[in-house]
Structure formats: C-alpha cells, structure tokens
Amino acid sequence: MAVRQIRFREAVREAMSEEMRRDKNVFLMGEEVAEYNGAYKVSQGMLAEFGEDRIIDTPIAELGFAGIAVGAAMNGLRPIVEFMTWNFALLATDQIINSAAKMLQMSGGQYGAPVVFRGPNGSAGQLAATHSQSFESLYANFPGLKVISVSNGYDAKGLLKSAIRDDDPIVFMESEVMYSDMSEVPEEEYLIPIGKADIKKPGTDVTIVSFNKMMKVALAAADELQKESIQAEVIDLRTIRPLDYETIINSVKKTNRLVVVEETWPLGGIGAEIAFKISSDAFDHLDAPVLRVTAADTPLPYAPNLVAAYLPDAAKTIQAVKRVMYLT
C-alpha cells in the first residue's frame, strides 16, 4: 500500500467522505459541521462535495438531533452524529442509551439503529471540570452499544469506516489534542475490525494496556523503561466494547505483570474490569497484582499544576511498572 503522513482530522474526514461516496444513505449532522467546516475542521470541504442534504448543521440541541439520527437510522439511513464534545452529549444520553442501544431488542429485531455518535472525549487543557470528562466506561456499561476509542489517525480511519458500515449503534471517541497529530495512513482503502486490540510495542517483562490519548503516556513510559532494560509490551485496546480480553490475557501469560493506564476515574473504570478479568482468568500467570494508573478521583481542576497532578503521566506509569516488578 502507498502510505502518506496525514493529520488525525484528515483521517477522520477521509473515512466519512469515502463512506458517503460509497453509500448514499450515509450523512453527517451536528453543530457547525457544515458552514463552519466543523468545530475542529474535521468536516472541512464536505459541505461543498456532498451538499446541505447530507452535511447538516444542527441547533445546539444534542437530545433533539441525536433523536433525529436514531429515527433516521430506523428508517434505513446511516447517520454520523458529531458532538462538539462528549461532555455535551450527556444531554443526548436518553437517545443513545434508551433508544439507540435498545431498539433492536425492543422491536424484536424489526428495527436497528446503525448510528455512529462521534466526537472528542476527555481533557484538553484548562477546560475545567464539566468539559474534561472521559466517558468510555459509562457507555461501555450498556449492552447494545459498541464503544471505540482511538489513539491515532491510522486506527481512526480504519475503525470509523468499519463503524459506519456496522449495523449496531457505535460510540466513537477521539480527542481534541490529537486532531493535529500526524500518522501514516495508506492511500488505498482499508478496514480495521471492531473488537480487536493492537500490540503497539512488543515486550517480555510487563504488559501496559491503554487507549485514546493515554497511549502517548504508555508509549513514552515504555521508551523510558527500555533505557533501564525493562521491555514493556504496550497494547492499545482501540475497542472498549467488545473488549479484546484474549490479546490482553495472552500478553500477561508472557509477561506475568499488568499495568492499565486510563484517563477515566478509578471507580468502575475500564482498568477495574480488566483487572478483574485477568485475576479470574489468568491468575496463575500473575507474578504481581494488577495495577491501574488513572485520573484522580475528583472533578478536573482548572489550575495547570492541579491538571498535571490529576492526569496519568509517564512518571506515574513508570512507578507502577516498577512496583509490579518489585523494583520500588
């Protein structure tokens, strides 16, 4: 495949545009996606190509336009809903959780809701408590939804194309601080299967599992640990529901140690689920307890020094790795 370097936002745009050219039932709706070219310029140029019938600006009414998308999906269309941030999507949770996720079962298989709900998730600098939350564990708790949380442009494009073609409602999480990141993305079409984690860095001494922008933390920690001859295997979950337990278990059987890095709060987080699964299904392979590096158990403060204290970072991850290796 011919590969070029493009920005994360361009990879997402290519995924949506390619699927819209392939299937006339796919359309994009959300706040400022049309005339303004997207709040983060993800949809730049799409209005000019596809027209106002398929690139639709909405009012600031997340519950309303999420409901329109669910109804459209029930009638054979394939909407992509862009939320300016997943924090604002809290207003649309009734439609995502009570309508989209449950429609197929409640209708006895007569109606599905193939909607992709996408947008940035998590913290993005000094945006304070109500604009800096990570929602993977929330949405992953509801049967009927698939949850994807990507860390780079290559995965974003391949998984978004798969999500748009999928017959289930999908929560697709990005990050504001990654939209300008560069990634190697093939020019030819490709798809990435939903539900399959990816080993970003092989290793033998400890497994580090992460997702979304915390992958930067995990990989940075692994690079520093390598300088001390500690070989960390780094796994990017990519899909949160369904979760690829097999890849994690196989890695732990090799390394015998596990650290999970996530931006979510500790109670009920993805790391808690993984720790339970490994402890129940791979306990005999563990040489140390599973450790988690999470956000602090508090709303995100505004002050820069408190933001740094709140978020996981490479130093905290390295400390956790050394603890499971009994080096500290």
- Tokens representing 237 are 């979950």
Can you say how many angstroms the Cα of residue 178 is from the centroid of all Cα atoms in its chain? 12
Q: Distance (Å, rounded) from C-alpha 275 to C-alpha 260?
A: 8
**131 is annotated as an active-site residue:** yes
**30 contacts 68 by C-beta, under 8 angstroms:** no
**Which secondary-structure segment (H or E) carries 232?**
strand 232-236
Query: What b/e sequence results for 147-165 when a residue is b if at least 16 CB atoms lie within 10 Å of its CB, and e otherwise?
Result: bbbbbbbbbbbbbbbbbbb
Q: Indicate if the alpha-carbon torsion angle 154, 157, 161, 166 is positive or negative.
A: positive
**21 contacts 14 by C-beta, under 8 angstroms:** no
- Tokens representing 72 are 């459209």
**197 contacts 239 by C-beta, under 8 angstroms:** yes
Backbone φ, ψ for residue 104 (5° rounding): -60, -45
Per annotation, catalytic residue among 18, 131, 224, 285: 131
Q: Which amino acid is at 121?
A: N
Per annotation, catalytic residue among 62, 136, 262, 263: 62
Query: What b/e sequence results for 225-256 when a residue is b if at least 16 CB atoms lie within 10 Å of its CB, and e otherwise?
Result: beeeebebbbbbbbbbbebbeebbbebbeebb
Among 95, 104, 98, CA closest to 74: 104
Among 246, 249, 274, CA closest to 260: 274
Q: Distance (Å, rounded) from C-alpha 126 to C-alpha 204?
A: 37
Give me the active site residues, please: 62, 131
